[in-house]
Structure 1
Amino acid sequence: MTDLQLGSLIAGGAIVAAVYAFNWWQEHRYRKQAQRAFAQNQPDVLLETQKNMVRPAASGQRLEPMIEPVAQPVVAERREPQLDVPQVDLDDDVADFDDIDAAEPQIAPVAKQVELQDVEVLATSQLDPSLDFIADVHAGESIPAAEVPQFPAAKRVMVLGLTDAGQWEVVNSRSTGRYTALRAGVQLADRQGSLTQEQLNAFCMLVQQFADEHEAVVTFPQRSGKLSAAKELDEFCASVDVLIGMNVMAKGKPFPMEKVRLFADQTGLARGGDGLYHYRSESGKALFSLVNQDQTPFGNTSEGLTFLFDVPRVAGGLPVFDHLSEIAQQLANLLAGDLVDDSGRPLAPGSIANIRRQLTNIYAQMDDRGIAPGSMAALRLFA
């Protein structure tokens, strides 16, 4: 082998190694940018819902402590980015690295598209034909966000707009886009009951008036069918709308709250801005709470304490219920108090096991209905 051939082989190998190293760096940078796009926090529209109210049909009804199964996250299949690898002719003595720079993939537009898709998925999930009465408005000319009202109604209303770029987004007071189409939905039921015919008619009149003012065409679902669905949905929700209460009652002297505070610190119960103690998940969602049994603010002492668990609004399942039961028993032992239900009956292991069985049945009903406890749908319906 001549020196020229040996030199050509070495040069070709160096070029191949450089190309592979360059593409590895490009792929690494792509992944970093994609991760940043996926990690961006989206606004939690559920935090803007009205304060909870007790459903009239379930008012005053409590079961013993309970909790719900953890909803398994849906993991979307991810594909590794396919990068174009420049072809290198090993017979050439010189490679033009300027050509490699020209082959750099356009990462920023891809990351931006991912972000827009995430925003659209979040927006479109705010309306559900099984939970909402949805009116579709089609405009002849795009309508500015400032001219889109929120359509005040007795139930939750959500408005989505289709931008000129073809993306759906939530329309609120901070929106600045223009929309060629709108979806306005009013919720069928919540803890105040089902949507009534009068409430639905008032909502439809507002939407129709808006459409007429903007020379737009509006289509509505069949009203009688939606009203029937609203009543049926409300009946189902009332059947599983359970608030569990476990009470620790003083036998003689009131409980010293300083002792309760120390217990709370040791068991992961943190006092919130509302003055109550809450046990939260890793994501910060309240799983159950500790309140004064007579619903008064905490003072220096207490005649009785109550652990509250709002079954349909909490994700966590039976393991959370087991943990709640354990903490309640520990507090009762620490304070030498009685662990009882709302009727004053002792909560023995058999009683707690019976509550656990009832919880299993409630969770099964909600799963069959496709409304997982603690899910977006549950938080909307039980608000």
Structure 2
Amino acid sequence: MQKTMTDLQLGSLIAGGAIVAAVYAFNWWQEHRYRKQAQRAFAQNQPDVLLETQKNMVRPAASGQRLEPMIEPVAQPVVAERREPQLDVPQVDLDDDVADFDDIDAAEPQIAPVAKQVELQDVEVLATSQLDPSLDFIADVHAGESIPAAEVPQFPAAKRVMVLGLTDAGQWEVVNSRSTGRYTALRAGVQLADRQGSLTQEQLNAFCMLVQQFADEHEAVVTFPQRSGKLSAAKELDEFCASVDVLIGMNVMAKGKPFPMEKVRLFADQTGLARGGDGLYHYRSESGKALFSLVNQDQTPFGNTSEGLTFLFDVPRVAGGLPVFDHLSEIAQQLANLLAGDLVDDSGRPLAPGSIANIRRQLTNIYAQMDDRGIAPGSMAALRLFA
């Protein structure tokens, strides 16, 4: 009887051990499967181009780089709408990139693939530069399965929103209504501040809700920056922008008889001021961006005559600001002399050489503040913030 009980106990122990081993093996298999899914969803082996690429929106303050050329001799004007905050896409010149391959035999089919790779890299850098952690609140969405572009919304918000997608080929690109790719990860960013003020808590919460809803619908994982910290950064950024947001006006006022606009038109043609689709005159850079504008002083459309004319200079949106201001001052004085008018500021005070020199010193201070902040006047960052 004692031996029978021992055999039974031994059998029970063996059976129990087998069950425990089976449960352990099943748990290990589930954990391994989950780990593989998580690795695919978060794609840790993918390079984070947005974080690894040097910021394009805000240049280093010491580099002295400008995205706008300085004032140049009068050229054929480019007609475009006034004060549109559009960003010029730099044209890619591949000559320098393939110069090192000149010694390779012409029969070697290597230059074209290299050039193509360089072009793809430039496109990716341009795409990732559209979001900047210092200017945007950026949500990261990681999908286990790739999401078609047609299912990616633009997440409408009160501020500028940009969406980037990581393609199956591992390239970041801007996602818009014309996109046709599929994405394993997305970045959706809403701008922290613009000329309408800083991003509010209500606006931020609404944006996060839209992104979270999208992620839930696609069984994706979304991560957000710390909201309170970003809201504080948005207010501080808005305060800085307000401190340097200056619009300079130089007015040429008639002393009695109104100015004949035909005379003004001829002067504009001679000095490179081109009339745009908005009916105003603009002095433009070689790339076609308005450096300063000429408008009717009473803000009405131009007619046959004018009681006063105003030159407008949007300080933070123009690169090479001091030379531009010098050229503007010269042209304004020339027009005042031609029309026998008075050159005055917005308060009606005469703009003598000493007054213009004082304004120039103030501009130097503003540009120094922007450089210290790392936001170059006329840069893509400035065009976004002062829009």
Is the Cα contact below 8 Å between 2:246 and 2:316 reproduced in 1?
Answer: yes
Residues 107 and 4 of structure 1, relative CA distance in 2, 3 Å threshold: farther
Does the Cα contact within 8 Å between 1:62 and 1:243 map onto a contact in 2? Answer: no
Cα deviations by residue, 1:26-61 (Å, 9 ceiling, x for unpaired): 999999999999999999999999999999999999
Residues 262-293 of structure 1 show CA distances to partners (whole Å, capped at 9, x for unaligned) of 00011110111111000011111110000000
Deviations 1:74-126 (A, max 9, x none): 99999999999999999999999999989613222212111111110110000
**Structure 1 counterpart SS, 2:372:** helix
Alpha-carbon distance in structure 2 between the residues aligned to 1:367 and 1:74: 29
Q: Following the alignment from structure 1 to structure 2, what is the Cα–Cα distance between the partners of residues 164 and 296?
A: 53
Change in CA separation of 1:119 and 1:4 when aligned onto 2, cut-off 3 Å: farther
Distance 1:94 1:134, change over 3 A: closer
1:64 and 1:244 in contact (8 A); partners too: no
1:103 aligns with 2:107: yes
User: Cα distance 1:262–1:336, how it changes in 2: closer, same or farther (>3 A)?
Assistant: same
Change (3 A) 1:307 1:105: same
**Per-residue deviation at 1:242?**
0.3
SS in 1 for 2:382: helix
Greater shift after overlay, 161-170 or 309-318? 309-318
Once residues 129 and 155 of structure 1 are traced to their aligned partners in structure 2, the CA distance between those partners, rounded to angstroms, is 15
- Please report how far the alpha carbon of residue 186 of structure 1 lies from its aligned counterpart in structure 2 after TM superposition: 0.2
**Overall identity of the aligned pairs, in %:** 100
Contact 1:53 1:192 in 2 (8 A): no
Separation in structure 1 between the aligned mates of residue 85 and residue 30 of structure 2, nearest angstrom: 10
Contact 1:146/1:176 (8 A) holds in 2: yes
Matches within 5 A, 1:231-242: 231-242=235-246
Contact 2:317/2:379 (CA < 8 Å) preserved in 1?
yes
Q: Do 1:269 and 1:278's aligned partners in 2 also have CA atoms closer than 8 Å?
A: yes
In the TM superposition, what is the alpha-carbon distance from 1:233 to its structure 2 partner? Answer: 0.2
Indicate the larger mover: 172-181 or 275-284: 275-284
Q: How far did residue 317 of structure 1 move?
A: 2.1
Question: CA contact under 8 A between 1:124 and 1:168: conserved in structure 2?
Answer: yes
* Superimposed CA distance per residue, residues 114-168 of structure 1 (whole angstroms, 9 cap, x where no aligned partner): 1111110110000000000000000000000000000000000000000000000
> What is residue 50 of structure 1 aligned with on the other side?
54
Do residues 307 (structure 1) and 311 (structure 2) align? yes
Please say if residues 198 and 235 of structure 2, whose CA atoms lie closer than 8 Å, have aligned partners that are also in contact: yes
How far apart are the structure 2 equivalents of 1:328 and 1:88? 37
Compute the displacement of 1:367 (Å). Answer: 0.2
Secondary structure of the structure 1 residue equivalent to 2:99: coil
Which deviates the most, 91-100 or 224-233?
91-100
Answer with 212-221 or 43-52: which moved more: 43-52
List runs of 5+ in structure 1 lacking aligned partners.
Answer: none
Q: Name the CA distance, whole Å, in 1 between partners of 2:294 and 2:95.
A: 77
Counterpart Cα distance in 2 of 1:12 and 1:262 = 101
CA gap 1:48/1:13 in 2 versus in 1, 3 angstroms: closer
- Which segment drifts farther, 29-38 or 216-225? 29-38
- Shift of the 138–29 alpha-carbon distance from structure 1 to 2, 3 Å rule, reads closer
The match for 1:290 among 294, 302, 316 is 294
The 1:201–1:11 alpha-carbon spacing in structure 2 relative to 1, beyond 3 Å, is closer
C-alpha displacement of 1:23: 62
Contact 1:69 1:316 in 2 (8 A): no
- The within-5 A match list for 1:347-358 is 347-358=351-362
Paired residues of 1:246 and 1:340 also in contact (CA < 8 A): yes
Shift of the 313–79 alpha-carbon distance from structure 1 to 2, 3 Å rule, reads: closer
**Structure 2: how far apart are the matches of 1:15 and 1:83?**
66
Q: Structure 2 vs 1, CA of residues 251 and 60 (structure 1 numbering), >3 Å: closer, same or farther?
A: farther
3-state SS in 1 of match to 2:102: helix
Contact 2:57 2:380 in 1 (8 A): no
Task: Give 3-state SS (helix, strand or coil) of 1:56's partner.
Answer: coil
Unaligned segments of structure 2, at least 5 residues: none
Shift of the 224–67 alpha-carbon distance from structure 1 to 2, 3 Å rule, reads: farther
Q: How many residues align?
A: 383
Asked if structure 2 preserves the Cα contact closer than 8 Å seen for 1:311 and 1:373, the reply is: yes
Could you tell me how far apart the structure 2 residues matched to 1:118 and 1:175 are? 18
TM-score (normalised: structure 1): 0.74
**Contact kept in structure 1, 2:154 and 2:176, CA below 8 Å:** yes
Change (3 A) 1:91 1:39: closer
Q: 1:70 to 1:135 in 2, by over 3 A?
A: farther
Q: Is the 8 A contact 2:83 2:290 kept in 1?
A: no
TM-score normalised by the chain length of structure 2: 0.74
Q: How far apart, CA to CA, are the structure 1 residues paired with 2:13 and 2:109? A: 29
- Could you say if the C-alpha distance between residues 174 and 74 of structure 1 is closer, same or farther in structure 2, counting changes exceeding 3 Å? closer
Instruction: State the shift of 1:10 in Å.
Output: 89
Contact 1:64–1:355, Cα closer than 8 Å, also in 2 = no
